[in-house]
Structure 1
């Protein structure tokens, strides 16, 4: 598979991305301070110095202000598969992405001492918890579509996507629970990484593309 170089975003697109990030940062600060359910979209708009309509243009639902990395997760997982090398299996590419996120202490990697505060807010809000589950489903569906398009060697790309996301979610949640219980990221890091490696070993073994 030939890797295509992405075009650099235009100035207009960069300004839109900056506005989106600013609104999300303001909202997150308010949610951390007062709790998700106690902050309105109108208050976020005032604090970010934009209209409520502008907020909704960037974030269709209030929950997306806090769980703003769902689109990023969709893009990361699908692009890892699309941009993989000619002899590289989808699982090899996804493994590399997962380990990179862990090493970078990226929020989608689930391994940082600051993350428990974020997760507590999600757990305390039924609306956020429901949106988080929907987000996982969105990533799985997008990954399945990408595997259908780019991995004809897979006999069941939908099952492959479901098993990949289920494994990733299980590892993420297990580590999140340990951090919420008071363990430090440095204490669980090696085990988290080893379990991620084992999960992808199993996936490659099941689907025979390693």
Structure 2
């Protein structure tokens, strides 16, 4: 006789279905908003207009996106912990700088959205830079990334209070990250093909690595745990 699904399995299935629907709603709202922002400008579009175009209530938009800027830079993707997370996940024998360099190279080769190599980014970036609140948020995000990475390096290396080295290393890594984004953005806006942009980005990282000091490249090497 065929067994009847347990209440627990039915509940888990229900949770999975609800989560999929939630994710679909979030993606539909974000995609709709981005298209409208690119077409008309970020400041010219209201949340009410986004909700109507996405066929949801205004409260539904705010349930998933705390502020309007989150529609373009959602905290789940534009995270202040990005650099610290990359460094925290590095393997044994890998320094902080090499962890980020290797990770960025992987994102470039995968044409990752996280590094700005997604289709349509050439139209999205000018829209973001033209909106003062979004441009300010991008700048703040970069500063927060460096601050969180510096805190992690202090904790991992046991640096003494007032030691400037962790902050300086974090700033150098943050500079590499920002430089790469800027290069990809400039070339994307210029209409270059994604393969050409990726090749140029990899060349840039190789050049930057050659310029970084040995102290930066060997700082905070992960030891055996």
Which TM class, normalised by the smaller chain length? 0.7 to 0.9
TM-score w.r.t. length of structure 1: 0.78
Instruction: Tell which deviates more after alignment, 14-23 or 31-40.
Output: 14-23
Match of 1:184 in 2: 193
Instruction: Tell which deviates more after alignment, 165-174 or 47-56.
Output: 47-56
- 8 Å Cα contact 1:122-1:128 kept in structure 2: yes
Are the structure 2 counterparts of residues 52 and 27 from structure 1 closer, same or farther at C-alpha, using a change threshold of 3 Å?
same
Name stretches of at least 5 consecutive residues in structure 1 with no aligned partner. 1-9
Match of 1:173 in 2: 182
Do structure 1's residue 197 and structure 2's residue 206 form an aligned pair?
yes
Count of aligned residue pairs for this structure pair: 201
- 8 Å Cα contact 2:80-2:142 kept in structure 1: no
Distance 1:135 1:57 in 2: 23
Are the structure 2 counterparts of residues 165 and 83 from structure 1 closer, same or farther at C-alpha, using a change threshold of 3 Å?
same
Q: How much has 1:31 moved relative to structure 2?
A: 1.5
Match of 2:46 in 1: 40
Residue in structure 1 matching 2:124, options 118, 126, 129: 118
Match of 1:206 in 2: 215
Structure 1 residue matching 2:192: 3-state secondary structure: coil
Match of 1:3 in 2: none
Are the structure 2 counterparts of residues 110 and 126 from structure 1 closer, same or farther at C-alpha, using a change threshold of 3 Å?
same
Do structure 1's residue 136 and structure 2's residue 142 form an aligned pair?
yes
TM-score w.r.t. length of structure 2: 0.74
RMSD value, Cα: 2.9
Larger Rg: 2
Deviations 1:8-60 (CA, angstroms, capped at 9, x unpaired) = xx746665544433321221122233221221012222333443333234322
- 8 Å Cα contact 2:142-2:174 kept in structure 1: yes
Are the structure 2 counterparts of residues 48 and 165 from structure 1 closer, same or farther at C-alpha, using a change threshold of 3 Å?
same
- 8 Å Cα contact 1:116-1:180 kept in structure 2: yes
Distance 1:124 1:26 in 2: 19
Q: How much has 1:102 moved relative to structure 2?
A: 0.7
Distance 1:143 1:162 in 2: 9
Structure 2 residue matching 1:85: 3-state secondary structure: coil
Deviations 1:111-158 (CA, angstroms, capped at 9, x unpaired) = 456321111211322222222212222322222233233344796222
- Higher RCO (Cα < 8 Å, 6 or more apart): 2
Match of 1:21 in 2: 27
Are the structure 2 counterparts of residues 153 and 17 from structure 1 closer, same or farther at C-alpha, using a change threshold of 3 Å?
farther
